[in-house]
Amino acid sequence: MTQFTDLGLIEPLLKALTTEGYTQPTPIQAAAIPFLLEGHDLLGIAQTGTGKTAAFALPILQWLSEAEGRPEPKTASVLILTPTRELAVQIAESFATYGRNLKTTRCLIYGGVGQNPQVNAMRRGVDIIIATPGRLLDLMDQGHVKLHGVETFVLDEADRMLDMGFINDVRKIVAKLPKDRQTIFFSATMAGEVSKLAGDILKNHKRVEVSPPATTVERIAQKVMFVNAGDKLALLRELLKGDAIQRAIIFTRTKHGANRIAEQLVKAGETSDAIHGNKSQNARQKALSSFRAGKVRTLVATDIAARGIDIDGISHIINYDLPNEPESYVHRIGRTARAGADGIAYSFCAADEVAFLQDIEKITRQKIEIDGEHPFHAEAVATIHASGKAPRVNRQNQGQRQNQNRGGARPGGPKQGRPAAKRGNGGGHRRPEGRSSRHAS
């Protein structure tokens, strides 16, 4: 079996991995790291929880360790673009963890907080920018960030970036990047506009794919509970009785619904908090920290707010509302069963959600086990599902997903073919000699 020591990583990175208890790479890491160390462009098709952050962070850190000099003021050598603040923070934490034995500088750029600390951090230039599109464009427009020094560009969770309406922002940012660069493109799905974007920005790339989006995590026990809409809250309280659920994320379609459910759970004596786009950055980080530390047992979240949450020990996912996009179901339940643990996903299904359930079963290619033993079982809803003739629901009106959830995302030695990086050439940033080797077929 492949070990990290087999991948050509330098000793400071291997030491950091050992400190964290990591010896064997995940499939995406084992496949991607060698290509990235060689300087190739990469298309990675993988869901959150597969270890993709380390797949690009480790090669980037190794390349930076070989560089000479430092970036120019207001520039960076690496740009990582992510759809949400939470994911940006987690990526930054990963870089700090894996790069603990190296000297690299980072700047987090996202909205919802004052820009002055970000502007100050960029004054001297940094090795790595980790950013969400909206605030990055704001700082670029103000002249605080310049992208002419970027040598490696990472677009993470590209499908969710497009779901959130950031396609134009992404294209504006890409237009400011040097054409001579390494591009790393990660997405859980590759349909439509995502595929077109990849074709536009990748050059002679390598493709790595793990856990196809049509399959769900095998270690997750999935159950659907048919229930009348008015009984959902009572069913949720019933599930939360006792200690079987150690830590759970409860998904809703709307921000208002997330607030309401969290408030009702707190009134019932449950430790709970909500996370969604209307929450301030500080409030969101506080809720995540409390959830991670075990001070809060249940976190009620919308799809966009929860995107990128990577916390071990989540024993259950509860779909209070079924998602109106079947791909979101796969992303949701993937929050449990991390690090080799088992997980359970419960999905509440009312009459107007049966069509959503059928779409989920179609894309996952499996029938979800029915739990008909709970005290709020709605046989009439089960009958609709069994008939296979659920009425189709207008997805745009059902939950108004995009409009309701977008608000929080934009408030305001080298291996083989990759030459050593040298600063001070063409603007003071890293400019590897023989760059064409990055795009060798």
Same domain, 395 and 257: yes
Contact 315, 245 (CB under 8 A): yes
When divided into structural domains, the chain yields a total of 2
287 in the same domain as 163: no
Q: How do residues 330-345 score in pLDDT, each as one tens digit?
A: 878 888 876 556 789 9
Contact 118, 70 (CB under 8 A): no
Query: What is the reported pLDDT for 90?
Result: 86
| Residue 311 phi, psi dihedral angles, 5° rounding | -125, 125
Do 392 and 263 fall within a single domain? yes
Mean pLDDT value of segment 89-118? 94
Residue 418 lies in a domain: no
Longest Cα–Cα distance of the chain, Å, equals: 71
The rounded percent of the chain whose pLDDT value lies above 90 is 58
Residue 428 falls within a domain, yes or no? no
Shared-domain flag, residues 89 and 150: yes
The H-or-E segment that residue 137 falls in is helix 133-141
Better pLDDT: 70 or 92: 92
Give the tens place of pLDDT for each residue, 215-250. 445 678 999 999 999 999 999 999 999 888 999 999
Whether residue 150 sits in one domain with residue 296: no
Residues 142 and 227 in one domain: no
Q: Which helix (H) or strand (E) holds 258?
A: helix 255-267
Q: Has residue 420 been placed in a domain?
A: no
Q: What range does the domain containing 108 cover? A: 4-213
- Shared domain for 304 and 401, answered yes or no, is yes
Instruction: Give residue 427's pLDDT.
Output: 39
Q: Write down the pLDDT at residue 62.
A: 96
β-partners of residue 155 are 81, 185
Tell me, yes or no, whether 9 lies in a domain: yes
**Same domain membership, residue 248 and residue 191:** no
Q: Which two tokens stand for residue 331?
A: 């992303």
pLDDT of residue 278: 81
Question: Do 230 and 190 share a domain, yes or no?
Answer: no
**Residue 188: per-residue pLDDT:** 82
Radius of gyration of the chain (CA): 22
Q: What's the confidence (pLDDT) of residue 54?
A: 94
Domain shared by 86 and 132, yes or no: yes
Residue range 375-395, pLDDT digits in tens: 999 999 999 999 887 665 544
Show the tokens assigned to 251: 């998904």
Does 412 fall in a domain?
no
The CATH code of the domain that includes 170 is 3.40.50.300
Looking at residue 382, its pLDDT comes to 94
| pLDDT of amino acid 393 | 54
* pTM score: 0.62
Let me know whether 71 and 115 are in one domain: yes
Query: In angstroms, rounded to a whole number, what is the distance separating the alpha carbons of residues 27 and 50?
Result: 8
Number of helices (H), then strands (E), belonging to the chain: the values are: 17, 14
Q: What is the pLDDT of residues 24-51, one digit of tens each?
A: 898 999 999 999 999 999 999 987 667 8
Quick one: pLDDT at residue 396?
A: 41
Tokens representing 10? Answer: 């330098």
Amino acid at 197: L
Residues 242 and 171 placed together within one structural domain of the fold:
no
